[in-house]
Amino acid sequence: MSEQPRILLTGFTPFGGEDINPSWEAVRVLDGKHIGGHRVISRVLPTAFAQSQRELAMMMDELAPAIVLGVGQAGGRSRLSIERVAINVQDARMADNSGAQPIDEAVVVEGPAAYFSTLPIKAMLKALLAERLPAEISNTAGTFVCNHVAYLMLHLAAKRPGVRAGFIHIPYSPSQAVRFPNAPSMGGEDVLRALSIVLEIATARRDDDRFGAGTLD
């Protein structure tokens, strides 16, 4: 019997003085699960530019995943954000966990200006909203380590025929949000449910739905 195709699902270490990163707290629970005929392999990436680049490349070589989904935290966002695009820019307003703070540098020198997600983002959004989970299509993954990793996932996937990749941001966890007045949050059970849904869609669909989910600003 042939081995099931793999999903590489990544989260991040805590950063910015936080004790936890809800991306890894959610992602690690799904390690070893079977979704849509694929086996999920969860890995944690350092919230550091250079180290995450090296470790992601090794993971992709080791695991040869069919689907790669990165998950990161975007404190202040009120919805689960399915990222449409990752850009070839590192512009850090704060230092990463290694102390590096690249300004206006390329993720990949002479790489494309941007990559679009190769996952069915509109179908994912539709499925999440049908389950009354707050979600949106996001047109910016920022310019910190999350965008850096999202770009690298798509760059590496582009070199591997048939491999698809994308990135999702999640809000603060409730335990984090209590420290910030009026900050939105999302509970761990909802994040887990949302990630399971989007992975089901990713394994089942190569085409995408077509409906308006853009923004005016």
Residue 194 lies in a domain: yes
- We report the CATH number of the domain holding residue 51 as 3.40.630.20
Q: What is the DSSP letter of 147?
A: H
Residue 52 lies in a domain: yes
Residue 47 lies in a domain: yes
Q: Give the integer Cα–Cα distance in Å for 175 and 46.
A: 22
| Domain range enclosing 91 | 6-204
- Known catalytic residue: 146? yes
**Strands across the sheet containing 67-73:** 34-35, 38-45, 6-12, 67-73, 164-170, 80-83, 135-138
Give the Cβ contact number of residue 122 at 10 Å: 19
Q: Give the integer Cα–Cα distance in Å for 6 and 31.
A: 11
- Known catalytic residue: 110? no
Please count the structural domains in the chain.
1
**What is the residue-averaged pLDDT of the chain?**
95
Residue 83 lies in a domain: yes
Task: Find the catalytic residue in 38, 148, 155, 169.
Answer: 169
Residue 126 lies in a domain: yes
pLDDT of residue 1 exceeding 60, the answer is no
Q: What is the DSSP letter of 186?
A: -
Could you tell me where the DSSP H helices lie in 110-217?
A: 121-130, 145-158, 174-177, 188-204
Residue 211 lies in a domain: no
- Percentage of the chain beyond pLDDT 90 is 89
Task: Find the catalytic residue in 38, 83, 148, 155.
Answer: 83
Residue 210 lies in a domain: no
Kindly tell me the number of DSSP H helices and DSSP E strands found in the chain. 6, 9
pLDDT of residue 157 exceeding 70, the answer is yes
Residue (of 130, 203, 217) closest to 166 by Cα position:
203
| pTM of the full structure | 0.96
- Tell me what pLDDT residue 161 has: 95
- Known catalytic residue: 131? no
pLDDT tens across 34-85, in order? 999 999 999 999 999 999 999 999 999 999 999 999 999 998 999 999 999 9
- Tell me what pLDDT residue 202 has: 98
pLDDT tens across 73-87, in order? 998 999 999 999 999
Task: Find the catalytic residue in 25, 146, 148, 155.
Answer: 146
Residue 214 lies in a domain: no
